A and B are shown apart, each in its own frame.
Chain A
């Protein structure tokens, strides 16, 4: 490996003196890779990606497309989620090998690339749109106006993250519980309302590669399909933030980086190093540990991420198909653009299968998914921006990482409240849709970034295999190609 030693070589080489040079930024000192977790344990930082990823795409967009175009359209979903599982493994490769975020990796390749993501994150994620669907569903159940729920929710999220000692642990506990409840109850409800034929058509539909009915290739529907592909699994910058959670959970070389603390406990935070670390990739013992870490994250990617995302979508699709069987009017309702009307229609139809209570449960799921996404998004956004600011803005190191984190968190919360109270009043859906173009563009851009970072900034023995590169390259083509085809062929960005 390309390590350099200091000029004085009289004493035997000490591990601490060696460094790995990656790009033009500060070299990474060589440190020991910790042992991988002893067993393939079911809980890992993937919980964040699942919480962020299982959202509107799974619960609404894809069931809706299935109702409109038939289950065969789901082959695109299979490609989208599988692609995201590979992206997740590749994001983890850099984060676990260096303890750095993918943003730092991007800066090592070309600093403006990192600033691009910094700006996109602000442009896309300061809008409180992601709160709206969950809060609107909550309004359906309780009658509490969605703006009130959203504002109270925002303040609560800020307080929770400011008061807790170690943010990662608290967030992991809360999200785990919510996801556990979501997974169990979605399964039970699907098992009650669905049938063998629903699930068979849903699953066989995933293998109808190339199926695109003529009406899907129209200015009205193609952009919607592009949007749904971008929302299959984690969308926008969520995969990039996953590298920060991996680091904070102490995965791989992340063990050498201190954790971010809540604002109240910021004083206890250890000094954050300005760069990551690398392990000795020429030492077989270290490489054996690395293989252990890769096994660990692969299990997470396949079972937790791919499995749960698939499960929730299949369950919701089965519920939606059952709904249409009971009440064919649902199909007409979901053709409209208004998401609230469509969700309401699905909920009504679900109610007619069982009871009004079941409709409530359906809306309860939507509210729960919204809450998961909100908790995860606010934390991740603040984490990502704080990371980039701390490492690459001059003078920012005078502050602690926790202070920067709190600054971004409360900044986005206050801005969100102002927008909710005084911003565009055209209903919840209006806000969410404006994010779509940049969000999809960022996904194509991070595929390119991943290729550059993993193939140029990592030592040869731990670089990705050729076929992984092909898949990630296909990802860039998939997201950017569909986005620009939609733009030039139909003059519409994303629906």
Chain B
């Protein structure tokens, strides 16, 4: 079972997912729809993206992903993003004009872009959050240690500057 400590690592990824989903997904579908339906649409994209974003953080804490590397995270989002969009379309969409497979194919391609942006922002937010939580959370301390080792190698390099 995933404990509280692991869940804390999910926060940065979940926030990025939620904000990205709500920002673009919600606003896009405002037109001509009731506020309730628009909110449902935003929620229907934000919720799965937040879930998968958070799961990424948890898996990062367990060593499944390595900080800052793109390949595995790209594959992860190639599956997770189309599923999130499919969920949104089935809950609050207007129907898939092209059929499910072309829809998923298109979403999978776009997802690589989403993955780059996600990792990019996650790498910015996660270390700050870990610094905040490392005192009480051994998982966070462990992951922070990974980031610190990386930063130390970089700073040793910069320390060589005269």
User: Which residues of chain A have a CB within 8 Å of any CB of chain B?
Assistant: 32, 34-35, 37-43, 173, 176-177, 179-199, 250, 255-259, 270, 303-304, 307-308, 311-312, 315, 351, 354-358, 361
Contacts and interface: CB of A to CB of B under 8 A. Distances in A.
Given A40-B68, A190-B110, A311-B112, 13 more contacts: A35-B157, A40-B69, A177-B124, A183-B114, A183-B120, A184-B114, A195-B102, A196-B103, A250-B161, A258-B161, A311-B116, A355-B28, A358-B27
A190 B112 CA distance: 12
Interface string B118-162: 111101100000000000000000000000001001100110111
Contacts of A34: 157, 160
Contacts of B85: 191
26 contacts: A32-B160, A39-B66, A179-B120, A180-B120, A184-B114, A184-B117, A187-B111, A187-B113, A187-B117, A188-B45, A191-B85, A191-B106, A191-B107, A191-B110, A192-B28, A195-B97, A195-B102, A250-B158, A250-B161, A256-B160, A303-B70, A303-B116, A312-B113, A315-B110, A355-B32, A357-B31
Contacts of B124: 173, 176-177, 180
A472 B154 CA distance: 32
Given A185-B24, A196-B105, A258-B162, A39 B69 contact: yes
A257 B160 CA distance: 10
Contacts of A183: 113-114, 116-117, 120
A182 B124 CA distance: 15
Contacts of A192: 24-25, 28-29
A176 to B, nearest CB: 6
B37 to A, nearest CB: 12
Interface of B: 16, 20-21, 23-25, 27-32, 45, 66, 68-70, 81, 85, 97-98, 102-103, 105-107, 109-114, 116-121, 123-124, 150, 153-154, 157-158, 160-162
| 3 closest A-B pairs by CB | A355-B31, A184-B117, A183-B117
A196 B112 contact: no
Contacts of B32: 355
Contacts of B150: 38-39, 41
Contact of A187 (B31, B102, B110): B110
A98 to B, nearest CB: 16
Contacts of B106: 191, 194-196, 198-199
Contacts of B153: 35, 37-38
Of A43, A173, A187, A191, most buried by chain B (CB within 10 Å of CB) is A191
Contacts of A181: 117, 121
A456 B53 CA distance: 50
B122 to A, nearest CB: 9
A315 B21 CA distance: 17
Nearest to B32: A355
Nearest to A257: B161
A219 B68 CA distance: 48
Of A40, A180, A255, A311, most buried by chain B (CB within 10 Å of CB) is A180
A354 B70 contact: no
A304 B66 CA distance: 18
A199 B29 CA distance: 21
Contacts of B29: 192, 354-355
A259 B162 CA distance: 10
B109 A357 contact: no
Of A37, A192, A256, most buried by chain B (CB within 10 Å of CB) is A192
A357 B161 contact: no
B24 A43 contact: no
Nearest to A357: B27
A361 B157 contact: no
A312 B116 CA distance: 12
Nearest to B28: A354
Nearest to A358: B28
Contacts of B102: 195-197
A452 B133 CA distance: 53
Contact of A42 (B70, B113, B154, B157): B70
A187 B81 CA distance: 11
Contacts of B110: 187, 190-191, 194, 199, 315
Given A37-B153, A307-B116, A42 B31 contact: no
Contacts of A193: 28
Contacts of B30: 354-355, 357
A361 B27 contact: yes
Contacts of B28: 189, 192-193, 354-355, 357-358, 361
A194 B97 CA distance: 11
A351 B111 CA distance: 23
Contacts of B31: 351, 354-358
Contacts of A41: 68, 150
A117 to B, nearest CB: 27
A28 to B, nearest CB: 15
A32 to B, nearest CB: 8
Contacts of B20: 184-185, 188
